[in-house]
Amino acid sequence: MENLLVTGGSGFIGSNFIRYLLKDTDFKGRIVNLDKLTYAGNPENLVGLEEIFPGRYIFIKADICSMDAIEPLFRDYKIDTVCHFAAESHVDRSIVGPSDFIQTNIIGTFNLLECARKYRDNIRLFHHVSTDEVFGSLGKDGLFTETTSYKPNSPYSASKASSDHLVRAYFKTYNLPVTISNCSNNYGPYQFPEKLIPLIIINALSETELPVYGDGKNVRDWLYVKDHCSAIKMVMDRGKRGETYNIGGNNEMENIRIVELICDYLDNCERPKMHKSRRELITFVKDRPGHDRRYAIDSTKIQRELGWHPSESFETGLEKTIRWYLENRGWIDHVKSGEYQSWIDKQYGKSI
Ligand code: NAD
Ligand code: DAU
C-alpha cells in the first residue's frame, strides 16, 4: 500500500481508520481521503492531520457518484489500494428517504469498481467495508457466518448487499483483487449522534428524552471502532483475494441494557448530579419499521485464518467512549449546531 484511496474517510469509522493507520501502524504510504462531506462527514474528525503528516494525508472533497470527479484521482495519485467506507449509513434515514442510499451505496460503489478496473494494472487491492445487516435478522439462536445467505430488510441493508454483490462480481468476472468485510455495530469516538450510543450519551448529558424503539429487546453485537480498524488493516494486509471476512466483538446486548448502562455510568460520574436517575429519561417509542430483531457475528474465520482478536471488552470500550464524549463537548456542540457544516460551506461553497 503506497497510495491508498480511502473513501468516506471523514465519517465515523473512516476517520478512526485514517488516524489508526497513520499513528498506530507500520503504514508508510500516502492516504488520499475522498469524501463528499455529507451531514455525516466532518472535517473536524481529522483536524491537523495534513500538518502532522505533510504529503502523507491529502483530503479531496468529491462525490463517488460522479465518475468525472473520481476517475482522475486514480490516475493523478497513482492509486494502488482502495479502502471503501463511503456510504449513507443510517437505517432510519434509509426508511424515510432511500434514494441517496441507492445512489451512493450502489452507483457510487459501481463507479469506484469501474475506476479500479480501468487502472487495473496499478490496483493491488479493492477492500469493501460492509455490514452484518446484509444477512437480515436472527432468531434467538445462531450466528451469521460468511456463508449465511443474504436477506437484507431495510433499504440501507439492501443497498449494501447490492454493493457487496457488485464487488464479488468484479472479482469473479474481471479478476479484480478484492476483499470484503461484514462487520457488526461499531461504537466509539466521533460517531454521529443519530446512532444509538452517541445519541443516548448526548441526550443523557443534556437531560432530555432517551428514545428506545419498541420493547428495547432488539439485540446488536457491539465492536469498539478501533478493533474494527485493526481487523480491516489485517484483512487488507493478509486476507485472501476474493474472500469475505465477518468481523464482530462477541458482545451481544439488548438495546435497553445499553441505555441503562450509559445512564448508570453518567449518574455515577457526572457533576452536578441530576436530582433523579437518568433511567427516568428512558422513553419507549414507536418501533422502527422492519426492525431486525437480533444480529450476532461468528468471527471464527478472521480469528483463525488471520489471527485477529478484539482488544476491548464492551465494558472498557463503552467507558472509553463515554469519556471521549465527556471530554469533547466542543465537538458535540459543533455537530449539534451544524457549525461544522457552515465551515464546509465557507471552505468549499455550498454542499454539492
Ligand atoms: P458515516 O455515515 O459516519 O460516514 C460515511 C462517510 O461517507 C461520511 O464522511 C460521508 O460524508 C461520506 N459519504 C457519503 N456519501 C458519499 C458520497 N456520495 N461520496 C463520497 N463520500 C460520501 O458511516 P460509518 O458509520 O463511518 O460507516 C462507514 C462504512 O462502514 C459504511 O460503508 C457502513 O456501511 C459500514 N459499516 C458501518 C458500521 C457501523 O456500525 N457504523 C458497521 C459495519 C459496517
Ligand atoms: O450492524 C451494523 C450496522 O449498525 C451498520 O451497518 C449501520 O451503518 C449502523 O448504523 C448500525 O445500524 P443499526 O440500525 O443497528 O444502528 P442504530 O444505532 O441506528 O440502532 C441500534 C439499535 O438501537 C437498533 O436496534 C435500533 C435501536 N435504536 C436506535 C436509535 C437511533 C433505538 O432504540 N433508539 C434510537 O434512538
Q: Which ligand is nearest to the CA of 86?
A: 1
For ligand 1, whether the C-beta of 35 sits within 6 Å is yes
* DSSP structure class, residue 56: T
Compute the distance between CA of residue 2 and CA of residue 98 in angstroms, rounded to an integer. Answer: 36
Tell me what percent of the residues of the chain surpass a pLDDT of 90: 93
Q: Which of the listed residues 33, 38, 105, 299 should we mutate to test ligand 1's pocket, taking the one with most ligand atoms within 8 A of CB? A: 38
Compute the distance between CA of residue 53 and CA of residue 167 in angstroms, rounded to an integer. Answer: 31
| Bond prior to 198 in cis (omega within 30° of 0) | no
Nearest residue (by CA) to ligand 2, atom 6, is: 131
Compute the distance between CA of residue 22 and CA of residue 1 in angstroms, rounded to an integer. Answer: 13
Grid cell listed for 119 = 487502472
φ, ψ for residue 186, nearest 5 deg? -95, 155
Grid cell listed for 272 = 452536578
CA of 270 to the centre of ligand 1 (A): 31
Tell me what percent of the residues of the chain surpass a pLDDT of 70: 97
Task: Give the pLDDT of residue 351.
Answer: 40
Listed in sequence order, the residues at least 6 apart from 111 whose beta carbon sits closer than 8 Å to its beta carbon are 64, 65, 66, 67, 70
Give the neighbor-by-neighbor strand order of the sheet with 252-254: 185-187, 219-224, 252-254
Q: Are β-strands 219-224 and 185-187 bridged in parallel, bridged antiparallel, or unpaired?
A: parallel
In ligand 2, which atom is closest to the CA atom of 130?
Answer: 6
For the cut 60, the answer to whether the pLDDT of residue 17 exceeds it is yes
pLDDT tens column, 19-36 = 999 999 999 999 999 999
Q: Which ligand is nearest to the CA of 94?
A: 2
* DSSP structure class, residue 43: G
The secondary element (H helix, E strand) that includes residue 151 is none
Question: pTM for this structure?
Answer: 0.97
For ligand 2, whether the C-beta of 295 sits within 6 Å is yes
pLDDT tens column, 135-173 = 999 999 999 999 999 999 999 999 999 999 999 999 999
Grid cell listed for 10 = 471523514
Compute the distance between CA of residue 33 and CA of residue 10 in angstroms, rounded to an integer. Answer: 8
Q: Which domains does the chain have, with CATH numbers?
A: 3-188+223-252+290-312+338-348 (3.40.50.720)
For ligand 2, whether the C-beta of 22 sits within 6 Å is no
Identify whether the C-beta of residue 127 lies closer than 8 Å to the C-beta of residue 82: yes
For the cut 60, the answer to whether the pLDDT of residue 183 exceeds it is yes
Closest CA to 201 of 341, 78, 321, 336: 321
For ligand 2, whether the C-beta of 45 sits within 6 Å is no
Identify whether the C-beta of residue 251 lies closer than 8 Å to the C-beta of residue 313: yes
Task: Give long-range contacts, CB 8 A cutoff, 24+ apart: 331-340.
Answer: 331/44, 331/190, 332/193, 332/202, 332/205, 334/42, 334/44, 335/42, 335/192, 335/193, 336/193, 336/202, 340/42, 340/43, 340/44
Task: Give the pLDDT of residue 320.
Answer: 98
Catalytic residues: 132-133, 156
CA of 119 to the centre of ligand 1 (A): 24
pLDDT confidence bin for 242, thresholds 50/70/90: very high
For ligand 1, whether the C-beta of 65 sits within 6 Å is yes
Listed in sequence order, the residues at least 6 apart from 342 whose beta carbon sits closer than 8 Å to its beta carbon are none
Q: Which ligand is nearest to the CA of 194?
A: 2
pLDDT confidence bin for 348, thresholds 50/70/90: low
Residues comprising the chain, all counted: 352
For ligand 2, whether the C-beta of 212 sits within 6 Å is yes
Compute the distance between CA of residue 111 and CA of residue 103 in angstroms, rounded to an integer. Answer: 10
CA of 20 to the centre of ligand 1 (A): 17
* DSSP structure class, residue 251: -
Grid cell listed for 264 = 448508570
In ligand 1, which atom is closest to the CA atom of 39?
Answer: 11
User: What average pLDDT does the structure give for the chain?
Assistant: 95
Closest CA to 125 of 246, 7, 242: 242
Task: Give the pLDDT of residue 270.
Answer: 67
For the cut 70, the answer to whether the pLDDT of residue 343 exceeds it is no
CA of 275 to the centre of ligand 1 (A): 38
Identify whether the C-beta of residue 111 lies closer than 8 Å to the C-beta of residue 167: no
pLDDT confidence bin for 346, thresholds 50/70/90: confident
Calculate the alpha carbon distances from 331 to 335, 337, 339 in Å: 6, 10, 10
For ligand 2, whether the C-beta of 148 sits within 6 Å is no
For the cut 80, the answer to whether the pLDDT of residue 51 exceeds it is yes
Identify whether the C-beta of residue 261 lies closer than 8 Å to the C-beta of residue 322: no
